[in-house]
Structures are given as C-alpha cells and as structure tokens.
Amino acid sequence: MTLVASTYIVALRYTRTVGTDLYFSTTAVCIAEVIKLILSLSILAKETGSLGRLMSSLKEHTLGSPKEMLKLSVPSLVYAVQNNMAFLALSNLDAAIYQVTYQLKIPCTALCMVFMLQRSLTRLQWFSVFMLCGGVTLVQWNPAQAVKVQIEQNPLLGFGAVAIAVLCSGFAGVYFEKVLKSSDTSLWVRNIQMYLSGIVVTLAGVVLSDGPQVLEKGFFYGYSPSVWFVVFLASVGGLYTSVVVKYTDNIMKGFSAAAAIVLSTIASVMLFGLQITPNFTVGSLLVCLSIYLYGLPRQDTTKIQPEASSQNLKEKLLVV
C-alpha cells in the first residue's frame, strides 16, 4: 500500500502539471472504476471455480439484491467525489504538501468510527490526532514551492479540494467497513456491487462536468502511457484498500501513510524541484509520529479482571 500510494501521488502530480494536452480527470476516474470491476470479476471467477457459479452469484447479488446495490451506491458516489477532488488538489498543490495535508483523513476517519461504529479511542490516540493537526498546520504555514510547474496554480482551491476529499474519505471508508463486516457476503461481491454503482456515478460526472469537451475532443483525449499508469495505480490502490478494510479496519490504512509521505517527498525533490523548508520538515515528522502513536495497541486489562472478580467473590463469601 505504501509503494502504490506514494507512486500514485507522484505520478498523478506529474500528469497534471507536466504536459501539453491535459486529459479529463473525470474520464480517468471512470476508467479506474471499470478496471477495478474487471479485476474483481476475475478474482470472483477464480473463487467460484466455474462460469456458471460466477453468473449465478452475480445474478443473486446484483439484479436480485436491489437494496444491497443501493446501499453500495453511497460509497461509490462519495468516492467519486473524493477522487475528483484529488485531481483538483494535485493540480494546485505540490505532491508532498498534498500528501501530508491529506492525512487529516485520519482524525476524520476516527470521528466517523466513533459516531458510526460506536468505537472508543484512547487518550493517546486523541493526543495523536491533535499532534497530526499541528503537523499539518506547520506544513501549510509558508509551504515550499516547486519550480518546474508549467501551469498556474491556486493553493486556496487546492486546500479546499483536500478538505472535501478528507471528509469523503472518512465517511466512505467507515461506511464501507460497516457494510463489509455486517454480513458474510464475499469481499469481491461487495466490490462488484460498489464498482457497478461507481461506473454509473462517474459516467454521470463525465457528462455533467466535461460533457461538451469530451464530445469535442474525445473520451481519451490527452491520454499517454503515464496517464494509463496513473489509472492502473488508482485501480490497484482501490482493491488494496478494500482488502485492508475487510481484514483489519480503516485505522490500519494510516500506517502506510507515513512511509508514503517520505517516499513522495523524496520523489518530489528529484522530479519537481521541491524545496524543503524547516516548517515542512518538522510538520512531516509530527505527522509521521502521530500516525505511529495512533496505531499503538491498547493496553490489555483483561488479565487482571478475573483476579479482581475472584477477590471480590472471596470478600463476599467472608462477609457471609
């Protein structure tokens, strides 16, 4: 996940700032959904073992389950907004600054888990959340500037897009985790349900956002090998995310973020001429430390509970 995330951010940044024919981000998001659907179908076909079982499973969980399809359309819509906000943000912010700022999705996810899944957080975890906010603030304060950007940028618009992406990430991630763990339905069936809805949603986004331009220039206008590489990374990253959420939780997704920050920053220095400032360095360190503290295991107090219960029972017996 760390390798995919850091490579995706840098590659996406490259395609949005170093190029003549700028492709439509909405079409890229739509194609990524199609690739994720194809990959999920391939894995489900391997699990079922035959084409007949695959078709039967698809019929049961798609056409035969309209309520489930509607349920999975919610994260599809939210993820579509998030992905388009990522394109907008990376068109106006440096890759490393975006990566660090985007870590605000961790406290947003924590709040969503508290309210939506009724989970509690330790004091250390809440402390790490505030530390993360402090680190992000330092990164935004007098941020470093890249020197090889060929388009005019609007940092305020970029940070606004990041804020929307953060809210979408927190809500959609926790919502999807709740759906995954509320039944025994296969992970890949759930993915197929979500990606079918996602294709419809992202196609609507293409029509509403870039419809006339797409008709004039073509759906794949501006696509190059590097753009296709970004689309592939987005697809693989989406599948990795669903696997991690299924077998752990949304908090675990934050563990790879710290290493991804370091890797994307190093790549930005080499590719985009990023100038590292002291504020950025300290802020990045605080972000990495906060992610580490947030993921520390809770103290296990279950071992002392039986002893306490036994002692209480002895005291009651003595009283009797």
Question: What pLDDT does residue 100 have?
Answer: 73
Query: Phi, psi (5° rounding) for residue 38?
Result: -65, -45
Q: Which two tokens stand for residue 143?
A: 């941020």
Q: Who has greater pLDDT, 100 or 301?
A: 100
Residue that the structure tokens 């981000």 belong to: 25
State yes or no: pLDDT of 191 exceeds 70: yes
Mean pLDDT, range 228-253, rounded to an integer: 84
State yes or no: pLDDT of 146 exceeds 50: no
Q: How many residues does the chain have?
A: 320
CA angle 215, 153, 150 (to 5 degrees): 80
pLDDT range class, residue 141, cuts 50, 70, 90 = low
Q: Residue 74: which domain range?
A: 2-319
Instruction: Determine the residue type at 289.
Output: L
Q: DSSP assignment, residue 63?
A: I
| pTM score of the predicted model | 0.72
pLDDT tens digits for 153-172? 788 888 899 999 999 988 98
What total number of domains does the chain contain? 1
Buried b (16+ CB within 10 A) or exposed e, 210-227: beeebeeeeeeebbeeeb
Instruction: Determine the residue type at 114.
Output: V
Q: Which of 40, 3, 42 is nearest to 199 (CA)?
A: 40
Q: Are 250 and 173 in contact (CB under 8 A)?
A: yes
Residue 181, C-beta contacts closer than 8 angstroms, at least 6 positions apart:
246
CA distance 141 to 146: 15
pLDDT range class, residue 214, cuts 50, 70, 90 = very high
pLDDT tens digits for 287-297? 788 878 877 77
State yes or no: pLDDT of 215 exceeds 90: yes
Angle between helices 66-90 and 25-48 (to 10 degrees): 140
Element holding 179 (H helix, E strand): helix 155-181
